[in-house]
Structure 1
Amino acid sequence: MKAYISVDLEGLPGVSSLTMLNPGNTQFNRAVKVLTRLLNTVIDELATHGFDTIYVADSHGLMTNIDYLELDSRAELIQGYPRQFSMVTLLDSSFNAALFIGYHAAAGTPHGILDHTMSGRTFTEIRVNGERVSEFILNSLYAGEHNVPVVLLAGDEHLRAEVEKYSPWTIFVPLKKGVSRYSASYPGIDKVTEALREGVSKAVKKLKKGEVQPLKWSTPFKAELTLRDSLIADILEPLPIFKRIDAYRVEFTANTASELLGYIELIAHLGYGVDALKNSIK
C-alpha cells in the first residue's frame, strides 16, 4: 500500500511564535524537533498497518524543514521550493491514501493560530464556489481529482468544523487549539503522539473498510481571491482569465482542481514579487 503525507508547521503543537517558522529564526530548531518526532510516529504507524511505500512532502515555507538524517528511513522525502502543486507535489492516482499533518486554519479564521491560506503575504481570504477554503480543502480537492482520499487531518482544532462539514469521513486529530493569531494551547507531547497513532490506526481501518472517499466538488470551480495589496489586482486585471471585482478582489474560473491550485500558486508567487519590489524601493 502507498501513502502520501503532507506536513506543515503552523498546526503542530509546540509552535506558537514567528521565531519558530523559518531557518535562522531563534527557535526554529525546536519546531524541527517536534516536526520530526510526530512525523516519524505517523510513518511508523502506517508501516505497522501494511504501508510499504510512504512519501513525505515537506510543505512549510521553503520546504526544507525536515532533517533528512533524522527522518524514518522507510519514507521517501520530497523537499524544496518552488515546486509544482506545492504541498501535494507528486501526489497521483497511484496512492491509496493521503494524510495531512500540522495543518492550520484558513486565513480569516477567528483565533486560528498563524492562520493563512497558501500565502499570508498575498491573500486575506480564498473562496471556492462561495465557500471560504483552507489549504486542507484546496489540497484535498487536488487529491480527490486523482481519486485519493484524505484519510487523516491533524492540526489546529479550528479545522474540525471544516472536516465535519466537507469531509466527514476524514479522521481529525487536534494537535493544538489557537487562542489568538500568535497563541495556542496544546497537550504534552506523549499525549499528542498517542493520539496520532490512534488516529492513523482508525483512518487505515476506515480506508480498508471502504468508508472514506475522495473529496470532489462540482466544476467548474469559481474562485474569489481577496488580496492584501491592490497592486496584485492591478497586475492581474489585464489578463482575460481574471475578473476584477474591486480594489482587492479578483475572481477566475478553473475546470479542474489542478488548474485551480496552479493559478492560486501563480498568484502567490506574484505576491512574493510585489512584496520584494516594494522592499527594494529606497
Structure 2
Amino acid sequence: MRIFVSVDMEGISGVEKVEEVFRGMPAYQTFRQIMAGDVNAAVQGAIDGGATDVVVADSHGYMCNIRPKDLHQRARLRSGMKRVLCQFKGFSHRFDAAFFVGYHSKAGTPDGILSHTWIPAFKDVRVNGRSVGEYGLNGYLAGSFGVPVILLTGDDKTVEQAQPVLGEIEYVAVKKSLGYFQGEHLPLKESHARIREGAKRAVARFSRARPTPPKAELPVTFELDLARHENTLVTKMKDENLRFVDDDTSGALADVELIAEHEPVQVRWPETVSFTCNRYADAYNLLFRILMYFYERDIEWLLEEIADPERYKRDFARLVGDSPLNYVG
C-alpha cells in the first residue's frame, strides 16, 4: 500500500506562533525537528498498519523544512519550491491514500492558530461556492486523482472544518486553538503516540473498506477574495508594500488588478477573482500561479510586521518534557 503524506507546519504539535515556523526565527530549528517527529509518527503508524511505501511532501513555506537526516528511514522526501502541484509534490494516481499532517484552519477562522489559506493575501477561497482551507483544496485534488485522504492531524478547529469535505476518516487533534497565537497543546510524547495510532487505524480501515475520495463537481469554479488593506491583517503593511508593481506597468497595481491583467480570470470588484476549469488540477494550478505573484511579499511581511523575535518566549519544558523532539518510536 502506497501512502502520500502532505505535511504543513502551522498544525504541527506545539506550534502557535510565527517565530516557530520560518527559517531565521528563534524557535524554527526546534519546531522543524518536531515537524519531522509528527511526520515520523505518522509514517511509523502507516507501516504498523501495513503500508509498504511512504512519500512525504514538505509543504510549508519555502518547502525545505524537513532535513533528510531527520526523516524516518522508510520514507522518501519531496521538498523544494520547484513543483507543479503546490503542496502535493510527487503526487500521482499511483498512490492508494493520502495523509495530511500538521494542517491548520482556513483564513478568517475565529481564534484559529495561525489560520490562513496559503498566504495572507488570500482572504477566502471557495470551490463551487464552498469556502475551504488547504485541507479542502488538497483533499479535492487528491480526489480528482481517485485517491482518498484517510488521516488529518492538526488543531481542533481544522478537524472540525475538514470533516464536511474529507468525511469520516481518522482525525488527530494535537492541540486546541485558543487564539491566532495561542493554543492548548498535548505533551509531545502523547501527541506523537496519538498520531502513530491514528495513522495505524487509518491504514487498517482502508484495508477493510476503501473510502470514497472527495471530489469537486466538474467543471469546477474557484472564487478568490484577495485581501484589501482596510479589512485584513495586511492593514499593518506599509502602503508601498500593499501594491505590487509588475514588469510591464509604470504605476502600482492592486492585487486584483495585477491578476486580472495577467491571468484568465473574471473580476468582481473590488476584491474577487474567479475562474472555471474542466479539470480540477487545472484550477488548482491556476490558483497556485496566482499565489506565486504575492508569495515572497507576504512571507516577508509576516517576518517583518508580525513576527517579534526579541520578545518571543515559550515554556518548552511543559511541551516537550523528557520526550525527544523527533519521534523515535
Conservation of the 8 A alpha-carbon contact between 2:157 and 2:176: yes
Structure 2, unpaired ranges of 5+: 229-252, 302-329
On the 8 A contact 1:169/1:211 being kept in 2, the answer is no
Aligned to 2:155: 156
Aligned residue for 1:50?
A: 50
Summarize the Cα distance change of 1:181–1:145 in structure 2 as closer, same or farther, 3 Å threshold: same
The aligned amino acid for 1:99 is F
Please state how far the C-alpha of 1:159 moved relative to its aligned partner: 1.6
Q: Residue 169 of structure 1 corresponds to which residue in structure 2?
A: 168
1:112 is matched with 112
- Return closer, same or farther for 1:74/1:276 CA change in 2, 3 Å cut-off: closer
Deviations 1:49-95 (A, max 9, x none): 22221100011101111121121111110010142111112211111
Find the partner of 2:272 among 249, 261, 270. 249
Contact 1:163 1:170 in 2 (8 A): no
Map 1:136-215 onto structure 2 (within 5 A).
Answer: 136-215=135-214
Matched to 1:190, the amino acid is K
Instruction: Name the CA distance, whole Å, in 2 between partners of 1:79 and 1:18.
Output: 21
Asked if the contact 1:123/1:226 (under 8 Å) is kept, the reply is yes
SS at match of 1:237: helix
User: 154-163 or 97-106: which moved more?
Assistant: 154-163
Supply the AA of the counterpart residue of 1:72.
H
* TM-score, length of structure 2 as denominator length: 0.80
Q: Which has the larger radius of gyration?
A: 2
Q: Indicate the residue corresponding to 1:66 in structure 2.
A: 66
Structure 1 alignment gaps of length 5 or more: none
Asked if 1:236 corresponds to 2:251, the answer is: no
Are the counterparts in 1 of residues 107 and 123 from structure 2 also a CA contact under 8 Å? yes
- Hey, what's the Cα distance between the residues in 2 that align with 1:23 and 1:76? 22
Identify the residue that residue 238 of structure 2 maps to in structure 1. Answer: none
| Structure 2 residue 36 is matched with structure 1 residue 36 | yes
C-alpha deviation, 1:160, in angstroms? 2.2
Larger RCO (CA under 8 A, 6+ residues apart): 2
What is the DSSP-based 3-state SS (H/G/I as helix, E as strand, rest coil) of the residue aligned with 2:70? Answer: coil
Say if 1:274 and 1:37 are closer, same or farther in 2 by CA, change over 3 A.
closer
Letter in 2 for 1:182: F
User: Could you say which residue in structure 1 is the equivalent of 2:2?
Assistant: 2
Give, as a single letter, the amino acid of the residue that structure 1 aligns with 2:283. Answer: L
| Letter in structure 1 aligned against 2:284 | L
**Cα distance in 1, alignment partners of residues 6 and 57 from structure 2:** 5
Alpha-carbon spacing, 1:228–1:240, altered in 2? closer, same or farther (3 Å):
closer
**Aligned equivalents of 1:58 and 1:91: distance in 2?**
12
Asked if 1 retains the 8 angstrom alpha-carbon contact of 2:11 and 2:155, the reply is: yes
The alignment yields a C-alpha RMSD, in angstroms, of 1.9
Query: What amino acid is aligned across from residue 148 of structure 1 in structure 2?
Result: V
SS in 1 for 2:217: coil
Letter in 2 for 1:160: V
Q: How far apart in 1 are the matches of 2:207 and 2:123?
A: 38
Equivalent of 1:265 in 281, 288, 294: 288
Deviation of the 1:273 alpha carbon: 6.5
Query: Could you say which residue in structure 1 is the equivalent of 2:97?
Result: 97
> Aligned equivalents of 1:223 and 1:92: distance in 2?
22
Residues 277 and 269 of structure 1: CA distance in aligned 2, closer, same or farther (over 3 Å): same
- 1:157/1:176 contact within 8 Å kept: yes
State the shift of 1:32 in Å: 1.2
| Contact 1:62/1:82 (<8 A) preserved | no
Normalised by the size of structure 1, how large is the TM-score?
0.93
**Alpha carbons 2:14, 2:186 under 8 Å: kept:** no
Counterpart of 1:267, as a letter, is I
Determine the C-alpha separation between the residues in 2 that align with 1:36 and 1:227.
Answer: 32
